[in-house]
Amino acid sequence: MVVSYRIIVYTKGNISSLKTKDAVIIVRDLNLAFGQRQLFDNISLTLQPDQKIGLVGRNGSGKSTLLKIIAGQQKFDDGSITIERGKTVAYMPQEVVLASDKTVFDEAFTAFDHVVALQQELAKIEDLLSHTHDVGQAVLDRYADATHEMSQYNVHLITQRVHEILSGLGFREADLSKPVEQLSVGWKMRLVLAKLLLQDADFYLFDEPTNHLDIVAKDWFLEFLKASKKGFMLVSHDRYFLDHACSIIFELERGKGTLYYGNYTTYLAQKEQNQTMLEKAYEAQQKDIAKRMETINRFRAKASKAGMAQSMLKSLDKMERIEIEREPGTVAFSFPQGRRAGKIVLHVDNVSKRFEDKKIFEHVSFEIARDERVALVAANGVGKTTLLHCIMGKMPFDSGTVSVGHNVDPVLFEQDQDRSLTPTKTILDEVEDSCKTSEIRARVRAMLGAFLFPGDDVRKKIAVLSGGEKNRVAMVKVLLAQGNLLLLDEPTNHLDLPSKEILLSALQQFTGTLLFVSHDRSFLDSLATRIIELTPTGAKSYPGNYESYLYQKKVNEQLASGKVATAENQTQRPSHGASAAAVPEKGGREAYELRKKRANLESRIAKLERELEDLTEKFGELEYDSKEYLAADERLTLLRQQLRNAYTEWEKWSL
């Protein structure tokens, strides 16, 4: 929805005026309480027209509520919200009901409601003129005015823009003539986002806009925001998105709002530094309090100094105490040991699948070796979930073969947790009932605690859990199942950033093989060691993570078009696990040797980069000009040279 503000100011009891220069929105001393809980405590914020802000905070901190208040969709207790005269603020909630009897294209075109209204008015007047000889001068004058107004708009460019936005968000040309009522909820949300972007507002408020986007549409939307000069405040649980779309982070925590300049990674570093300083100040204050109390207790024992002791005690009571909330430490996971699988864990050969007359995919072939972490990527509708179900035997395929290797125990994490969990069970019962042995059941509480279900939380019924909570319960079941091949279908769905970090840490510590589907860029880059791209006509394998995969595809496209890689795009290689052209799954001896050579080089590059990163971090702690400092400096120089040489050799074997 788009909220158009003229001179509207939301206040309690009085009207405020815009005083901060160039600001689109000013939030002053905002307060909101729900019962005894103070959600917002005097929050103030000024939003400039070009600021790109990520709104972060734990679940329940009020992120969605703050956006609703700024958009005028929710009341507050005290403070003011001021919108600059004549500015428009576009707001996209997490969920919205889109009811329309139009086609996808026509509904998107309603973003230009003024143009649509003129078109309709002109059509009515023209119909009147064709059927009536004497329409009157007033009608003719209005027709002339409306025609002149219409000439101010380039309908061809507007139509082209609608096509571009819809295409970028994943709509195919054939989808544009579909009735909106036939779309799923996810595609309706994409249409809502398209209309929002087409309306060209002065400032945007996005509440989880990427929830219903696949990774291709996410990448397009990210580039759109990066190229746009318009400001926005955005809630997202996608770390990659926050890192690359936002240059400011506004954190909500315990009722307060704190502004951090930089992206999400910079914010985390600044927050950690602030936390360290706060803990040191807290410890110093506690020592000072203890020392004062010791003096007070000593003076109390003497009648001549009792008054002084009382005065010191009153002074101590007035001291503003430092409060700290310690962040949870790194969670160590203890997984039940499954069987050691054979060298080849999964073999898929020439698999095809159709639904009635619609071909989903065909000629899909690949192998996965023990301990690989493989991400399966494809556009929506190509059949990622279908392929996982075919591999697990939950769905028949039309042709080809699927075989698992020696001692392989596959376990599937379903995307739809309502199908895999029992609503009437408690969290504890749900997980314990799935455990094979008493030894594994003994680990259930510890694992649930690691996945943010402490104490009595394990007694909650599955039916009352949020989507993210159900996701975490299902993941605990999967990790305790003693499988050595995990097939994970969108494991990050509905998870907030802290939960994603816990899941990522768990999977990084898992000693087995992974085949997973995810639309989270940060998750893919941090976990995948290989990408398999599923297409309607087969599958291609790309060593490295998702960033590496994108780079390889770019190189392939340049080679296919006859373009020679320039010095500029050669330097835009991924920082880890880089590789070049896609490697066919089957080939002769030459292809095998090429893959082996590249794999060795990529392993060497990754090792050099890790050592360089570790040494650089240690370097800052060394005393300048000391023996250790000089040795480290010499080693840094050598590592950088070795890394440059490795990249040069990698380019030779890649191109």
Q: What is the pLDDT of residues 192-241, one digit of tens each?
A: 999 999 988 999 999 999 988 888 899 999 999 999 999 999 999 999 99
Determine, yes or no, domain membership for 241.
Answer: no
Q: Are residues 521 and 422 in the same domain?
A: yes
Which residue range forms the structural domain that includes residue 283? 268-317
Q: Which of 514, 543, 572 is the last residue of a domain?
A: 543
Determine, yes or no, domain membership for 178.
Answer: no
Q: Are residues 379 and 502 in the same domain?
A: yes
The whole model's pTM is what?
0.71
Q: Are residues 365 and 478 in the same domain?
A: yes
Tokens of residue 242, six digits: 């926050």
Determine, yes or no, domain membership for 284.
Answer: yes
Residue 242 has pLDDT above 70, yes or no: yes
Q: What angle do CA 228, 229, 235 make, to 5 degrees?
A: 70
Q: Are residues 292 and 422 in the same domain?
A: no
Q: Are residues 595 and 465 in the same domain?
A: no
Q: Are residues 426 and 495 in the same domain?
A: yes
Determine, yes or no, domain membership for 126.
Answer: no
Q: Are residues 304 and 357 in the same domain?
A: no
Q: Which of 489, 509, 543 is the last residue of a domain?
A: 543
CATH code at 512? 3.40.50.300
Tokens of residue 545, six digits: 């993570």
User: What pLDDT band is residue 117 in, cutting at 50, 70 and 90?
Assistant: confident
359's CB contacts (< 8 A; 6+ apart) are: 352, 536
Determine, yes or no, domain membership for 350.
Answer: yes
Residue 24 has pLDDT above 60, yes or no: yes
Q: Which of 510, 543, 576 is the last residue of a domain?
A: 543
Q: Are residues 350 and 313 in the same domain?
A: no
DSSP notation for 68-111: HHHTTSS--SEEEEEE-TT-EEEEE-S------SSBHHHHHHGG
| Backbone dihedral region for residue 219 (phi beyond 0: left; psi -120 to 50: alpha; all else: beta) | alpha
Determine, yes or no, domain membership for 195.
Answer: no
* Overall domain count for the chain: 3
3-state secondary structure of 406: coil
CA distance 177 to 104: 6
Identify residue 425 by its one-letter amino acid code: K
Q: Please answer whether residues 360 and 383 qualify as being in contact, where contact means their C-beta atoms are separated by less than 8 angstroms.
A: yes
Q: Are residues 460 and 515 in the same domain?
A: yes
Q: How many helices, marked H, and strands, marked E, lie in the chain?
A: 21, 20
Q: Are residues 423 and 309 in the same domain?
A: no
Determine, yes or no, domain membership for 518.
Answer: yes
Determine, yes or no, domain membership for 200.
Answer: no
Tokens of residue 568, six digits: 């500029």
Q: What is the CA radius of gyration of the chain?
A: 30
Q: Are residues 396 and 519 in the same domain?
A: yes
User: What pLDDT band is residue 64 in, cutting at 50, 70 and 90?
Assistant: very high
pLDDT single digits (tens) 498-555: 888 889 988 998 989 999 999 999 999 999 999 999 999 999 999 889 988 988 888 7
pLDDT single digits (tens) 410-440: 999 988 887 889 999 999 999 999 888 888 8
Q: Are residues 449 and 363 in the same domain?
A: yes
DSSP H helices, 409-496, are: 427-432, 438-441, 444-450, 467-479
